[in-house]
Amino acid sequence: MYSNIHAKVEEFVAQYIANVMNGDKTCGCAHHQAFPVLVVLFGLLFLLGEMNVVAASTVSLGWPILVILAGLLKLSKGMCKCC
């Protein structure tokens, strides 16, 4: 289950980096900046869990919260001027 989510996150990050490298302008809206921050937090949560810096129960509770937040951001997509 974790590998499937991890693969999707890696795919998203790779596409985001490719867009930036191709000169595609990224939006400056806080709405669009929050999603990459959630991706970084998601990765850090798993990394810290693997390094036993945070308890497994924290990882088990934290990743669904981050996924829910990402979903809520996606639902609110039409709330900025550029969308």
> For 26-77, what is each residue's pLDDT tens digit?
566 666 677 778 888 888 888 888 999 989 888 888 888 888 887 787 777 6
Q: Is the dihedral of CA 12, 60, 50, 69 positive or negative?
A: positive
Determine, yes or no, domain membership for 53: yes
Determine, yes or no, domain membership for 51: yes
What total number of domains does the chain contain? 1
Residue-level pLDDT at 67: 83
Residue-level pLDDT at 78: 60
CB-CB contact of 12 with 47 (8 Å): no
For residue 3, pLDDT over 80 is answered with no
Determine, yes or no, domain membership for 47: yes
Domain that holds residue 68: 29-83
Residue-level pLDDT at 33: 72
